[in-house]
């Protein structure tokens, strides 16, 4: 496998994980609050508590999902090629 394969695998897994996490996050927010999450937390008409809660929750959940997906993609790459992609090698 080469660097192009890693770019496709890494980016694809990250995008998919982010999209799935976003869908799950919206569903959890709706069930917990009874309404849709803020469309634009930056909007001055959005309540501060709601904007901050959404920003913190979505940032953490999507960030962790992307990290997990990238780590799994790197493990798959290593299993397939025998080494980590150049972008992830130490030193």
Residues ≥6 apart with Cβ < 8 Å to 48? none
Confidence of residue 28 (pLDDT cuts 50, 70, 90): very high
Which residues in 25-35 are b (16+ Cβ under 10 Å) and which e?
Answer: beeebeeeeee
Q: What is the helix, strand, coil percentage profile of the chain, to 5?
A: 75, 0, 25
Q: What is the pLDDT of residue 8?
A: 92
Query: What's the pLDDT tens digit per position in 59-73?
Result: 999 999 999 999 999
Q: What is the pLDDT of residue 90?
A: 86
pLDDT above 90 for 41: no
Q: What is the pLDDT of residue 17?
A: 96
């Amino acid at each position: 496998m080469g660097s192009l394969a890693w770019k496709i695998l890494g980016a694809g897994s990250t995008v998919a994980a982010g999209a799935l996490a976003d869908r799950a996050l919206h569903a959890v927010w709706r069930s917990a609050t009874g309404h849709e999450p803020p469309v634009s937390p930056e909007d001055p008409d959005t309540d501060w508590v709601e904007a901050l809660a959404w920003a913190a929750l979505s940032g953490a959940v999507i960030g962790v999902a992307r990290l997990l997906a990238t780590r799994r993609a790197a493990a798959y790459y290593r299993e397939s090629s025998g080494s980590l992609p150049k972008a992830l090698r130490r030193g």
